[in-house]
Structure 1
Amino acid sequence: MAGLPLAAAARAAEPPLVLVVGDSMSAEYGIPRGTGWVALLQQKLAADKVAATVVNASVSGDTTAGGRARLPALLRAHQPAVVVIELGGNDALRGLSLEMTAANLTAMAGAARQAGAKVLLAGMQVPPNYGADYGRRFEALFGTVARDENAALVPFLLKGVADVPDAAELFQTDRIHPTAAAQPIILDNVWPALRVLLP
């Protein structure tokens, strides 16, 4: 038992770790390695002399159910100070129930907090062809979960990318995944909310 306080002290002395659990929006889908917003985040931390490391545990195509299943092992392995949850877009693309998406995000935020991490939830929106009511409800669920779970919130991860007049130029040919040029904008959306969670 004597080793436990020493281990905890050693962990406390290490730079805080930011764990990003996301889908293709964070997994550098279709763009060169090292150009995604998560890689740019690590570069920004170094440039700003913020002592923190980043682990990108994002998987293209992942849903909130997949993230919920993967999270416990990730929390044990990395013991993060901050968990960024960037999931939900694929739930909408597959027409999964909004209640299930909200329940999964709630469970993930709760598990991360229970493990001693602060939580940042990245909100997403769906294209208008999904219907106005569905779109409103999907967008709103991120704010509701963040409020209920005392998590920080990025209201819309793709602000300045998907909602600008020349949006097509910032997306790959599939019109779903942002280009490398869009990644600094995404980081600019995440950074203000993330920075306040770091020591």
Structure 2
Amino acid sequence: MNKENNYEICYENMCKEFVKYDPEEVAKRSRAYYDSEKKQFTLTCFNKEYLISYPEGNIVLKNNEDKDPSVDINTMLMLKMLMLSYLYRATNSSLTNKWVPLRELEGVGHAYQGFAKKGIDKLVEFFGHKGDLFLEAGLKLGGKKVDVGDVGIKIDILPNVPMAFGLWTADEEFPADATILYDCSAVKELHVEDLAGLCSEAADEIIRAAKSIHN
């Protein structure tokens, strides 16, 4: 069975579970908007609005002009699973404003460190000498400047899941480096595996945003 089929099966199984959840309660916990007449949620993910039907769990972009042709089927399925997982799990918890790397989140540990490294490596490889483009891409995703690294951005991946990304650009003395940070409350909003996967997914989104700036 190929990866795409695995993702499709996982997504279909998550959709089947969706009917068990009360939509009004889901909206309250996730900060998504629920239209009871249309029976659909509106949820913002990476600064794009998605429509999610209830109880089917079908997900489409609200604005077709937001569609990115460079996003393949697997990536879209992963984003859809991320959104459903968030709707299932979100608690509308208060942000702690304490930023930590993935390994320091409760229940994570070093087992997932490879996920963080993958995302960091992508950012370093693409933006190592392009601090201005890194900032521009982050702002395009609805981010705000923060004091992390030489250039830092905070992006609300989902309504209650902010992430911070810091870049140290390369110079004559030191190679480029990067960091990916979470608010400590993130484990109350998403499963640990989703948070781990976000390191790479978020890096990909920032890189896609950067590429679109010059198209």
TM-score range, shorter chain: under 0.3
Structure (1 or 2) with the greater strand fraction: 2
